[in-house]
Amino acid sequence: MGDLANSAVDFYPKSQRRELDHAGGLGCTVPELRGLMELRGAEALQKIRDGYTDVSGLCRRLTTSPTEGLSDNAADLEKRRQIYGQNFIPPKQPKTFLQLVWEALQDVTLIILEIAAIISLGLSFYAPPGEGSEACGNLAAGAEDEGEAEAGWIEGAAILLSVVCVVLVTAFNDWSKEKQFRGLQSRIEQEQKFAVVRNGQQIQIPVAELVVGDIAQIKYGDLLPADGVLIQGNDLKIDESSLTGESDHVRKSVEKDPMLLSGTHVMEGSGRMVVTAVGVNSQTGIIFTLLGASGEEEEKKDKKAKKQDGAVAMEMQPLKSAEGGEMEDREKKKTSVSKKEKSVLQGKLTKLAVQIGKAGLVMSAITVIILVLYFVIQTFVLDGRVWLAECTPVYVQYFVKFFIIGVTVLVVAVPEGLPLAVTISLAYSVKKMMKDNNLVRHLDACETMGNATAICSDKTGTLTTNRMAVVQAYLGDTHYRETPAPSSLAPRILDLLVHAIAINSAYTTKILPPEKDGGLPRQVGNKTECALLGFLRDLHRDYQPVRDQLPEEKLYKVYTFNSVRKSMSTVTRLPQGGFRVFSKGASEILLKKCSNILSSSGEVRSFRPRDRDEMVKKVIEPMACEGLRTICLAFRDFAAGPEPNWENENDIVGELTCIAVVGIEDPVRPEVPEAICKCQKAGITVRMVTGDNINTARAIAAKCGILQPGEDFLCLEGKDFNRRIRNEKGEIEQERLDKIWPKLRVLARSSPTDKHTLVKGIIDSTIGEQRQVVAVTGDGTNDGPALKKADVGFAMGIAGTDVAKEASDIILTDDNFSSIVRAVLWGRNVYDSISKFLQFQLTVNVVAVAVAFTGACITQDSPLKAVQMLWVNLIMDTFASLALATEPPTEALLLRKPYGRDKPLVSRTMMKNIVGHGVYQLGIIFTLLFAGEIFFDIDSGRNAPLHAPPSEHYTIIFNTFVLMQLFNEVNARKIHGERNVFRGVSGNPIFCAIVLGTFAIQIVIVQFGGKPFSCSPLDAEQWLWCLFVGVGELVWGQLIATIPTSHLKCLKEAGHGPGKDEITDEEMAEDEEEIDHAERELRRGQILWFRGLNRIQTQIRVVKAFRSSLYEGLEKPDSKTSIHNFMATPEFLLNDYTHNIPLIDDTDAEESEAARRPPSPPPTPNKNNNAIDSGVYLATDEGSKSPASASPLHSMETSL
C-alpha cells in the first residue's frame, strides 16, 4: 500500500492521453483493451479474431507467454504499471478531523448548551442601566465586590470550553476508529492473494500486484481481481450478477465466451486467463469511478447509508465496492432490511437511552418551571414589585441562569456516554480479537457472538486438521488396513491408479517438499487430492512425469467437482484412438455407476448390485465407522469411432470400472474436544453440518464430544432431514422442523440448501422462551446463503473462498474451532463491560439529577454548577467508558448461560446496586447541603446572590460527589454481586491509570479551579473528610452485597430486549419505506399499537368471514416466509419477509360446533399469542383437515 501516493497519477483520464505514447513498448493501448473488455460473446470473439487472430495473438501483443507467464523482471512489471495502471482502486478520502469535529457538534444536547452559554456570555457583557437602582430589589446584591461583576462571563466561557472538550474527545475517537478500520482494511487487502504463473512457476501474489499480461490461475470459489480473457478453461461457470444483474451462471469457454470480468465469482470449474485490465480500467473500476467521481452525490449517499447502518460496515475487497448496476437499488434496500435485525445489545441500548432521555427531559422541564415560578412569585407577588423596563436585563439574566440549570439537569440525565462506551468496548475487543485469530468485519458481530446459543460448524478443516492422508485402501479384491507394498499389487492396477490420481485432479494441487527439514511435506491445493497424491508417494510412485507427459491444456474435457455432482471426471485421448474417462468421488455415489471392477490380477470382472451391497457392508461402512472419508476411483474406455455426446454427462460417467476405494482420514484437531466442552458448559449447542457420509460424521462427532454417550440426540442425512421437515407438497413446515432441530447434532451428506434451511429454521423457531442466536462456520462458495442468514457468520481465512469471506461477519484467520470459543468470550465480555458502565453511569445520573432538581427547587440554585456537572459528565462518560470497557475477559464468563434477547441489560442485582449507592450518595450530599456549614463551621453557600464568589460549602459538596463516583467506579467492576471488587484490577492498567488520573485532575480543579469551576480551595482536614466519605462507598458496597436480591421483588429491571413483536417489526418488508433509526424508535410505540389493532381487526374479519362460511372465497395467501422459497431462487437474495394475514382454523368458525371446541385454548407455538385472550383460538393440530391448515402458523408475524 506504500506506493499509493505515486500511483495516484495513473488513475485519471488525463494521464491516459500520455499512456497512448507510453504503449510504444507493448502492443496494446489502454483504450483498445478497455474497448475489448466491453464486448461479450460472439462480438468479443470477432474482435479478438480481427485484431489478434486468437488469444495467443493477444498474449504475443502483450509480450507474455500463455504457458510461462511474465518474467519476474522488476523493470518490465514497473513499466506495465506505468502504462496500464495498478490493480488498485483508490479508496474514498477519509473524513478529515475537522469534518468529524463538525459532525460531533451536531449533537442536540451540545447545541442547547452552546446556545445557553452564548446567551449567558452576551448578558454578562451587557451592563444594564438600572442595575444599581433600588427598584430592581436586592437581586443584584453581592455584585458590589470589585472585579466580581466582570467575572460573569466565566461561566459561559467555561461551558463553551467543556463543550469543546466533549467534541474533541468524540471527534478523536471517531478519527482513531476510522484509522483502525482503514488499517484493518488494508490488512485484509494485503492478505488477499491470487495465483499467477511467472517464469513458468505458479506463485501467489497480492491482488494489488497483478499487472496486465499476467497469466492468472482461476478456480472454483475465486473472486476475480481483474478483467481478462480465458486462455484455457474446464467447465467454467461464472456468477456475473454483481456486474450485470444476470442471476443465472454464465458458462465461459475459449470458443464461445472467453471474457472474464473483475468482481465476478467463479461458481464452477477452473482455468487460466490473461489479465487485460486492472484497477480503474477494469469493468468494476469503471463503474466504481462513475460512482465515486461525483463527490457530492457520494456524500449524500454516504449520509443515507450511515443512517441505515449503525455499526461501521467494512467492505471486504478492494474491488467489491463497485457491485452496482441494476442490483444496486435492490442491494441498498436489502442491507437495510435483510441483514440481521439490530444486534441484541443495540436494540436494548437504544430502548434504554430513549427511556432515560425522556425522563431527563421531563425532569429538566419541571426544574426550569419550578425555578421560574418561584422567582416570579417571590419577586412580583410576595415582594410586590412592578416589572420596570430598566430591570428587564436583570430579570432576563436570572431566567437565563434558570435555563442553564435546566439544561445542566438534562445534560447529566442523558447518557451520551453510552454510544461512546459501546464503541470503545467494541473497538478494543476487535483489536484484541485479531490476536485471537478473529478478524471482525462487522462490529456488532463481536457482541452478538456473546449471546450465541447454537453453533453450526463444518467438519473438515474446522473441527479437523484439514491435513488428509490415505490410511486404508481396497485394491484388487483386498482390504488393506495400511498402505500396501507396491510389489503386492498387479502392475496394471498400479499404472491405472497413478494415472487416475495424477490426471484426474486439479493440476494446481501439488505436494511440495517441507519448508523446514524434518517437517511434513507441504500440501498445496485441494486437501483430498493432496491425500491421494500422498498415497502415490507412499507407493513409491511420482505423479509429476504423468502430468508432464499430458499437460493440462491437452486434457480433452474436465467435469470439475461441484456440490451437486460430488465427483470429478477428466476425459483424455488414448494414443491408439478413442478416449478414457477417469472419475473420482464419494464412494456410495460412484459405486452405483460402476458395472465392473479390477480383480487382484488387474483383469476386469463384472460388478453386480449384489457385489456392491456386500462391498458397502464389508469395506465402506467399517471405514466410515472409523471416521474415514471414502473415495472411489474408477475409469471407462470409449473405443475409437463416433465421438460420444460429451454434454450428456450421465451417459459418459456411467458403466465405469472401479479401480480402488480409499479411506482418507482427517484427524480431529487436538484442541477441539476441550473447546466444544467449554461451549457446552456455556450453554451453547454445537451441531456438525457436513457433506461427508453419516458414519464418518458420527465417528468424528463422538471424538469431538459433540455426541455424548447416553444423550438423546439425532444424526440425520440430508435426504432424511428433508423428508422429515417437508409436507406432501414438498414445502418446509416450521412445526416439523421444530420437532427435529432441538435434538439434531449431526447433519451429514447435506447440501448448502440444507444448511441454510437448518439455520433459518432454528432462527425462526418460536418454541423456546427466547429466539435462538445462531453462529455458522463455512468455507465454500455454497455456504454463502447460510453465512448471510446466520446471526454471526464465520468464514475460514485459509480454506475459505472469497465468496464465503464476503458473506461472513468474522474471518477465522487460523480456521480453528477453538478461535470461535474466544469470540464467544470476547462477545460476552463486551456485554458485561457495557453493563458495568451502565451500572456506574445510572448511579451518577440518578444522584446528579436528584441533587440538581431538589437543590434548584429548594435553594433556587443547583449545588452543582453547570461547569462542574460537565466535568462529572466527562468523568462518567468518557473516562469511565474507557476504564470499564477495557476490562479483559476471564474464563468465568464461559461458565454461565447466554443472556438471550429478552434478558434486560440492567439486571435486578444491578438495580439493587444503583438504588443502594444512590441512597448513600444522596443521603451524604443532602446532609452536606443543609447541615454542612454547621459541621465544617464555614459560611453557608445557600441563597448566594447572582455573581457571588464560589463558597467552600458548595466546593465540599462537589468534591465529595466526585470522590464518591470515583470509588463507586471500582464497585462497578463487578455486576453479579461478587464481593471482591478488586479482583483482576492489576491486569487492567488503563483502569488504574484513569482512576488515579481523574483523582489528580480533581485536586487541581478544586485547589486552583477558582471562579470558572466555582471552586474555593479546601484545607487538608476538609479533603480528608471528603476522602473518608468516598471510601465509605466501598464499605457500603459490601453492605449492599449482603442483601439477597431475591428478596427485592419490588425492583424493576430495565433495558429489555425488543419483544418478539418488535423483532419482527424490524424485519420490515422491502416495499415498506425505510425509517431512520431514531425516528423509528419514536414511532415504534405508535406502530405497535396500530399494528396490534390492525391484527385484531384482521383476525376478527377472518373469523367473521369463516362464520359466514364464505371462506371458500378467501384465497390462501402465499406464505413467502417459508424456507422452500430459497430453493426457487438461485441467488443469495434472502429477503423473504412479507407480512401474512393470519389464517385461523375453521374449527372455531362454526358457533354451533361449540361442543367440539376444546375447553381451554390449545397450546400454540407462539408464546405471546394474545389472540387467545380474544377468544380466537389458533388451532395447530396437524390432524385438522381444514383448507387453512395447509399453511402452518410458523411466522412470528402472525402472532399479535
Query: What is the set of active-site residues?
Result: 458
Cα distances (Å, whole numbers) of residue 1051 to 439, 865, 914, 923, 977: 40, 31, 11, 20, 15
Spatial contact of 819 and 437, defined as CB atoms under 8 Å apart: yes
Rounded CA separation 863/855 (Å): 6
Spatial contact of 826 and 432, defined as CB atoms under 8 Å apart: yes
Q: What are phi and psi of 952, to 5 degrees?
A: -60, -35
Beta-sheet strands, E only, within 279-366: none
Rounded CA separation 836/913 (Å): 11
Cβ count near 1061 (within 10 Å): 18
The DSSP call for residue 878 is: I
Rounded CA separation 50/52 (Å): 6
Which residue reads 400454540 in cell numbers? Answer: 1164
Sign of the CA dihedral with 320 first, then 324, 330, and 336 last: positive
Residue type, 580: R
Rounded CA separation 1174/1046 (Å): 34
Q: Please tell me whether residue 960 adopts helix, strand or coil conformation.
A: helix
Q: Please tell me whether residue 363 adopts helix, strand or coil conformation.
A: helix
Q: What are phi and psi of 746, to 5 degrees?
A: -135, 125
Residue type, 310: G
Which residue reads 448511579 in cell numbers? Answer: 843
Rounded CA separation 906/835 (Å): 7
Rounded CA separation 751/1102 (Å): 39
Cβ count near 769 (within 10 Å): 9
Which residues, including other chains, have CB under 8 Å from residue 1007's CB and lie 6 or more apart?
Answer: 1015, 1017, 1018
Rounded CA separation 889/829 (Å): 5
Q: What are phi and psi of 526, to 5 degrees?
A: -65, 125
**Burial of 877 from C-beta contacts in 10 A (0-12 / 13-18 / 19+):** buried
Cβ count near 947 (within 10 Å): 21
Q: Which of 969, 1025, 976, 991 is nearest to 844 (CA)?
A: 969
Q: Please tell me whether residue 203 adopts helix, strand or coil conformation.
A: strand
Spatial contact of 433 and 894, defined as CB atoms under 8 Å apart: no
Rounded CA separation 250/264 (Å): 11
Sign of the CA dihedral with 1188 first, then 1191, 1193, and 1195 last: negative
Which residue reads 452564548 in cell numbers? Answer: 118
Q: Which of 552, 540, 545 is nearest to 505 (CA)?
A: 552
Q: What is the 3-state secondary structure (H, E, C) of 647-678?
A: CCHHHHCCCEEEEEEEEEECCECCCHHHHHHH
Spatial contact of 197 and 274, defined as CB atoms under 8 Å apart: no
Strand order in the sheet with 714-717: 438-440, 810-812, 792-796, 774-778, 454-457, 685-689, 744-748, 714-717
Rounded CA separation 463/460 (Å): 6
Within 13 Å, how many C-alpha atoms sit on residue 1133's CB side?
16
